[in-house]
Structure 1
Amino acid sequence: MPRRGREKSQSGIYHIILRGMNRQTIFEEEEDAIKFLQTLKESKDKSGYKLYAYCLMSNHIHLLLKEEEEELGIIMRRIGASYVYWYNGKYGRCGHLFQDRYKSETVEDDRYLLTVLRYIHQNPLKAGLVKDLKDYKWSSYSEYIKRSEIIDTDFILKLFAKDNNKAIQSFKAFHEISSNETCMDIEENKKITDEEAIKIIKIGCKVSHCIDIQEMEKEEKNRCLKLLKENGLSTRQIARLTGVSRHIVVKA
């Protein structure tokens, strides 16, 4: 069955999700997240789009942007190709990093624009990563409160108030509201406990102890590591339970 064409936004604004292949971790280290933000800025300068929000999670990314000079498909190819080229070079890997087709939804009015904005910024809070939005380093929330680096804040803040200080206070108050409104998101598997992960490792890799994987031949080791990722274990969890370095897990 052919894929359905993407809905075209009349406003030019889209909520986008980029997801790691097979739920793969996209950001292993802080350097990776920093590089992706640099990629966003560089592609923004070339493509001329407006960026209203971002949030980098371990295995997926939320973006809220408005296409202007280039269409969305070109923008996303530019972002993806640049980051994947760098990431593959760093970790000595090849092939795809992102799921081949990014998800997108149109944003056609100011009310839903603000709903999506809050939804994106509240991702780390709902995931239990922080207790206060300002403490999460990898979202655009702080760019609205402090100083903008790559976000076009003026348009959003003017929806709250004409005076900038009042707008920022209203922006903060708006984000303190716990909303039940739903936006496009990814379907996440239930987090696998270490006890469950150990069983998967022993059965799937046919070993008596998790650390036995360290002694395997390279080809067999890579097969096992790939199998564990496909079964929902995180890169950090695999490395911690088997003693195999995260770099080797990612490369496999």
Structure 2
Amino acid sequence: MPDLPASHRLRLGRFAESNRIYLLTTNTLGRAPVFKDFSLGRLIVSQFRHAQNQGWAISLAWVVMPDHFHWLIELQQGSLSELMQKTKSLSTRSVNMATGRKGSLWQQGYHDRALRREEDLVKQARYVVANPLRAGLVEKLGDYPLWDAIWL
């Protein structure tokens, strides 16, 4: 295997399939808690909606945490790499415009996990949206503003 940084090794052999369900995760640069400001987190939510409106992916569940997001999607067109590149690029631009900051917002790369349709997708969605509870950010899921799931 070539001597590549871990973020580049993640891309080797990555295959994306339309109509397949994926759990995607990415972190902010240096795990900075940018989205403690919920108004900035709403900008990420807007990108999830934009991806769906463009026909790139169907959002099944998501949560925007202070320093990362989890996004359960059904890929519709293009590749995961294209989807994540567009989402990260457009969200960086939105956050930078809103805050006057410059430069990168996200760490390179992302984590993806393909799910089989037989897997309990509702269980995966609950896992995604329960992140704020497990992190101790709220006592009740409904108290956290940056999540959604089509089943809940």
**1:139 maps to what in 2?**
147
Contact 1:12–1:66 (CA<8 Å) still a contact in 2?
A: yes
CA distance in 2, matches of 1:136, 1:55: 9
2:24 aligned with 1:16: yes
**1:39 maps to what in 2?**
47
**1:246 maps to what in 2?**
none
**2:131 maps to what in 1?**
123
Counterpart pick for 1:66 among 67, 74, 77:
74
Counterpart pick for 2:83 among 75, 78, 82:
75
Identical residues among aligned pairs (%): 24
Name which one, 1 or 2, has greater alpha-carbon Rg: 1
CA distance in 2, matches of 1:74, 1:47: 13
Instruction: Using CA pairs under 8 Å that are at least 6 residues apart, name the structure with larger relative contact order, 1 or 2.
Output: 2
2:88 aligned with 1:99: no
CA distance in 2, matches of 1:10, 1:85: 27
1:89 is displaced (CA, Å) by: 2.3
CA displacement, residues 35-69 of structure 1 (integer Å, 9 cap, x when unaligned): 22122212221133111000011001000001112
* Matched residue type, 1:115: K
Aligned residues: 144
TM-score (norm 1): 0.52
CA distance in 1, matches of 2:138, 2:33: 19
CA distance in 1, matches of 2:72, 2:38: 22
TM-score (norm 2): 0.83
Question: 1:104 aligns to what SS in structure 2?
Answer: strand
1:9 is displaced (CA, Å) by: 5.2
CA distance in 2, matches of 1:114, 1:9: 21
Q: 1:8 to 1:38 in 2, by over 3 A?
A: closer
CA distance in 2, matches of 1:28, 1:130: 13
Q: Which runs of 5+ in 1 are unaligned?
A: 142-152, 158-170, 172-252
State the superposition RMSD in angstroms.
2.0
Q: Which structure dedicates a bigger proportion of its chain to helix?
A: 1
CA displacement, residues 77-114 of structure 1 (integer Å, 9 cap, x when unaligned): 11111110121223222221101101111111332423
Q: Which runs of 5+ in 2 are unaligned?
A: none
**1:184 maps to what in 2?**
none
CA distance in 1, matches of 2:120, 2:51: 26
CA distance in 1, matches of 2:51, 2:30: 25
**2:56 maps to what in 1?**
48
Question: 2:125 aligns to what SS in structure 1?
Answer: helix
Q: 1:23 to 1:128 in 2, by over 3 A?
A: same
CA distance in 2, matches of 1:92, 1:11: 38
Contact 2:18–2:76 (CA<8 Å) still a contact in 1?
A: no
